Amino acid sequence: MALSLGYSAAIVVALAAVPFAWGSFTAFQLGLYLIYGIAAQGVALCWGRAGFLPLGQALFFGIGAYIVGAALKTGAGWAAFAPAIIAACVLPALLAGLVGLLVFNRQIGSGPYFSLITLALAMLGFQLANALDWLTGGFNGMTGIPGLPGIDPFGSYYFVIVAALVISTAVLALVASSPFGQLLSAVRDNEERLQFFGFATHRLKAASFAIAGAVAGLAGALYAPHQGIVTPQTVGFLLSAELVIWTAVGGRFGLLGPVAGAVLIGFMASGLRNSFAYWEIAIALVFIVVVLRLPAGLGGLAAGLLGRFVPARSQLVRERPQLVERSPDAGNCDLRFDAVHVRMGTVEILNGLEFTVDQPGVHCIIGPNGAGKTSALNALTGRLPVAHGDIVWRGRSLANTRPYLAARHRIGRKFQVPSVFADLSVGQNLDIALWSGRLAWFDYLSPAPFGWRTGALDDLRDRFGFLADETRRAGELSVGERQMLDFSMTMLAEPHLVLLDEPCAGLSPAETGAMIEAIAAISADTGLVTIIVEHDMAVVERLADRVIVMHQGEVLTAGAMDEVRADQRVQAVYAGGTK
């Protein structure tokens, strides 16, 4: 942290020295590119951090510019500028947040739809700016915008821009280093898994888009007095595309990269525009080369080179001084599938499935492939729509719920294929599980949650020793370790109903033994309701208090293992293997 602060301070000093070293005109040019760089930082927050690409950020830039331009043209000076710059940030943020909520609601993954919608909004903004002559000045734009009183646009205003850049970078750095920023990284990495920890990812993405809208509005507010004119091009597609290009070239995974990209491309274009007829092609080639050869941009290249000379300091076990727990079990443990039908097209996956779980303990669901075992868990947690029937947990209907809502009803889910946040560290994966159901609204930007631990975490570290190395990237773990990490994360959320889909798949005999021991011990100690889908009969025999046999989307029989084994219907349709 100290090293990054030192480099940041050096950059600020270098920027402050520009007017004295290269003159006021160069500082004026650089000020414009820094303004664009501030707007590009918002693109980096959405694209690099949260994983979705906004193609219409110029809309929010232009709104901020028009608001401040109109305020300054009243002649009220600072009295008009102060509320105008607040409005220039707040209104784009509200608009962006609303758009994000509408687009991301019920949508897993970013896909092209969000990008296309934001592009369409920028095109709409361009048309409105051209058409509303009385408000925007139409095609010719809003002209004659005065500078700030007492501040020369070609002189001291440059230092206002540098100060704004410092503020935007500091605020976005706070966001990136907070639990909210880490959750955005988890959205980018594995959005569906994050939902199964109770986080409404559409709201997280909408909030990040709102922040990006506010940053773009701030940049637009600085642009108006700097240029003295605001035209429809400031809300159009061309500037939006340039913001993406600058972010990609500079590096979308950092905050200074987009600024560097705007400055680099800006001066390159300025130098080539009057001397090279095909300068736009040259800029395009630079963009293509960087995207193909340097996905992390020039900022990623610089970080890699710096890492060779400045070794990273590692810490196996992070200090977690604050012991936190979720509220204890308070209520019955009744789960009921009531004539549940699930269809995919014309295929009946669950055919009137009915069973009840009304006692704590381990309940194993077995059956041949295609029997509907995993589909039953998917219907319970909102991953599959229920066509008919009902699923009731503790008196509440969960038919056609959403995964994050199921998690908030204290239902934990572990998938057959281990589902972790591969690009995050082991410690960051554990953080997210510990935050499940525990983060209050004021914790999202607080460093305190990084110090949380629970008694369950201490126990799981004792069982699975690799969890102690919190700096290790989760994607580098073996299959068995990822299974154990996935299981550990599920249990750290302290659910009341645990759904484990083949928890021992891909494990060695020794790892299988450790997993069985952990499941049995935790179930006995906590009194949880645990439902396991499993093909390995050795696992079922060692864990199951009750066995439910499924066949063709419905329950064939249920009871103790010996009763099920003796049932002739089971013998006719099912034979289990052992590891």
- CATH, residue 466: 3.40.50.300
| Residue 564 and residue 549 in contact, taking contact as beta carbons nearer than 8 Å | yes
Examine the domain organization and report whether 522 and 383 are in the same domain: yes
H/E element holding 531? strand 529-533
Q: Determine contact, residues 62/243, Cβ cutoff 8 Å.
A: no
Reported as half-sphere exposure (CB side, CA atoms, 13 A), residue 338 has a value of 13
154 within a domain of the structure (yes/no): yes
Query: Do 365 and 350 form a contact (C-beta atoms < 8 A)?
Result: no
Q: Is residue 2 situated within a structural domain?
A: no
Full pLDDT tens readout for the chain, 579 residues:
445 677 788 899 999 999 999 999 999 999 999 999 999 999 999 999 999 999 999 999 999 999 999 999 998 888 999 999 999 999 999 999 999 999 998 767 666 789 999 999 999 999 999 999 999 999 999 999 999 988 998 889 999 999 999 999 999 999 999 999 999 999 999 999 999 999 999 999 999 999 999 999 999 999 999 999 999 999 999 999 999 999 999 999 999 999 999 999 999 888 877 777 777 787 778 778 877 888 888 887 777 776 666 555 555 567 888 989 877 765 678 999 999 999 988 889 999 999 999 899 999 999 988 899 999 999 999 999 999 999 999 999 999 999 999 999 999 999 989 999 999 999 999 999 999 999 999 999 999 999 999 999 999 999 999 999 999 999 999 999 999 999 999 999 999 999 999 999 888 999 999 999 999 999 888 889 999 999 888 899 999 999 999 999 999 999 999 999 888 888 887 655 454
Of 237, 268, 293, the domain-final residue: 237
State pTM to two decimals. Answer: 0.93
Whether 223 and 341 map to the same domain: the answer is no
Q: How far apart are CA 185 and CA 179, in angstroms?
A: 10
Q: Does any domain span residue 520?
A: yes
Lookup: tokens for 417: 């294929």
Within a domain: 550: yes
Indicate whether 340 and 465 sit together in one domain. Answer: yes
Quote the domain boundaries for residue 524: 335-573
Which three-class secondary structure string do you get for 124-157? HHHHHHHHCHHHHCHHHCECCCCCCCCCCCCCCH
Shared domain for 232 and 376, answered yes or no, is no
- Please report where in the chains the tokens 């050869």 appear, as a residue: 293
Same domain, 339 and 228: no
DSSP string of 34-94? HHHHHHHHHHHIIIIIIS---S-HHHHHHHHHHHHHHHHHTT-THHHHHHHHHHHHHHHHH
Same domain, yes or no: 219 and 355:
no
**The two three-digit tokens of residue 276, written as one number:** 């090279």
The verdict on 391 and 510 lying in the same domain is yes
Domain-terminating residue out of 214, 237, 260: 237
Residue 252 covered by a domain: no
| Within a domain: 276 | no
Total domains, the chain = 2
Among candidate residues 216, 237, 258, the one where a domain is terminated: 237
CA distance 560 to 57: 61
- My answer on whether 375 and 227 are in the same domain is no
Domain assignment present for residue 314? The answer is: no
| 304 within domain boundaries | no
